[in-house]
Amino acid sequence: MSTPKIAFLYPGQGAVPEKPLADLYGDEVRITYDNLRSGECPVYDDFHQGAVHSDLAAQLGVFCLSHTLAAALNKEGIMPSVITGYSSGLYAAMAGCGCLSPIQGMAAISHAFELISLTNNAHEHSMVAIIGLPVDRVEAELANLAHQGWLSLVNNKSQTIVSIVKEDLAVFSAACLQAGALRVLELPFEYPYHGEPLREAGQALSHFFESLPLSAPKIPLIAGSQPVYINGSSEEVGRQVANQLWQTVHWHHTITELVNRKTDIFVVLDPTSALTRIIRWLNRSITTVGITCQTDIKELARHIS
């Protein structure tokens, strides 16, 4: 029996669990999490939706937990052949493939967050998910707004996330629903991500990565808004992660790239089921395993062995 080709997928900041981590994973992963944690990353017992109230804390907590789950899987003999990350999950993927240390990865998140917070009028925008409306129709509704808006993420042909000025939210939501959207939901994020207004922040982040002693990736990485397969170039990794900060992320293309590279199992390092559902909506034939609790780790280990 051949060894399956496994991809590790690191989630973005939306992967903050509803329940405390001890309820999901017990104390088995606590030591690893606490050893990885640095800066403003929440402590193990405080990383859940009732306790996390900032984008930065969410991003750092998701980063630390996803690395903890990857380490727990490695301990069971489950090793990835390729790695990728969804939105801010690319910072964790960058560390997961060995380009930088977890401490450097969390420092990069904090640095990027500071750059974003200095962007003019960034706090005046909302990120909004639109479900059930084709991308071209979403773009048409964005063009009708009084202020400039932009596509931030394209999960699939009818599930997108946009960034718009807050005062346009009611008009935009009504227009999308009238056009046939099944749901329009404002996301609980402080700032917009993946859009042209953050170009300067992205360029500054690229300079930050250039200043670090990055290592060549030990595991191939798929990264970027239009995904690039990177195997050996640390400079390309840093460039693609920084560019994603201000470019629209085409997540469906990342999944297609993984499928085309004959990936057998998609392992989602996510305490929620959100990213797993997104992948299954794209392609139900993909074998996707979410690591939502300690049992998932043990079951995946039994399946692979």
Query: Which residues lie closer than 8 Å to 39 by C-beta, 6 or more apart?
Result: 60, 106, 107, 110
Residue 6's pLDDT is 97
Residue 157's pLDDT is 87
**SS3 assignment, position 130:** strand
Domains parsed from the chain with CATH numbers:
6-118+196-304 (3.40.366.10), 122-186 (3.30.70.250)
Residue 140's pLDDT is 97
* Tokens at 141, concatenated: 């509704």
Write the DSSP assignment of 144-201 as a string of letters: TSSS--EEEEEEETTEEEEEEEGGGHHHHHHHHHHTT-SEEEE---SS--SSGGGHHH
Residue 10's pLDDT is 98
**SS3 assignment, position 236:** helix
- pLDDT, tens digit only, all 305 positions of the chain: 468 899 999 999 999 999 999 999 988 899 999 999 998 999 999 999 999 999 999 999 999 999 999 999 999 999 999 999 999 999 999 999 999 999 999 999 999 999 999 987 878 899 999 999 999 999 999 999 999 999 999 999 899 999 999 999 999 999 999 999 999 999 999 999 998 889 999 999 999 999 999 999 999 999 999 999 999 899 999 999 999 999 999 999 999 999 999 999 999 999 999 999 888 888 888 899 999 999 999 999 998 87
pTM, full prediction: 0.95
Class of residue 211 by CB neighbours under 10 A (exposed 0-12, middle 13-18, buried 19+): exposed
What counts of helices (H) and strands (E) characterise the chain? 12, 11
Query: Which residues lie closer than 8 Å to 125 by C-beta, 6 or more apart?
Result: 163, 164, 165, 166, 191, 192, 197
Q: Compute the half-sphere exposure of residue 218: CA atoms within 13 Å on the CB side of its CA.
A: 9
Between CA 93 and CA 111 the distance in angstroms is 17
Write the DSSP assignment of 25-83 as a string of letters: HTTTTHHHHHHH--TTPPPGGG-STTT--SHHHHHHHHHHHHHHHHHHHHHTT---SEE
Asked whether the beta carbons of 83 and 203 are under 8 A apart, the reply is: no
> What amino acid occupies position 231?
N
Q: How far is CA 48 from CA 18, 43, 294, in A?
A: 5, 10, 16
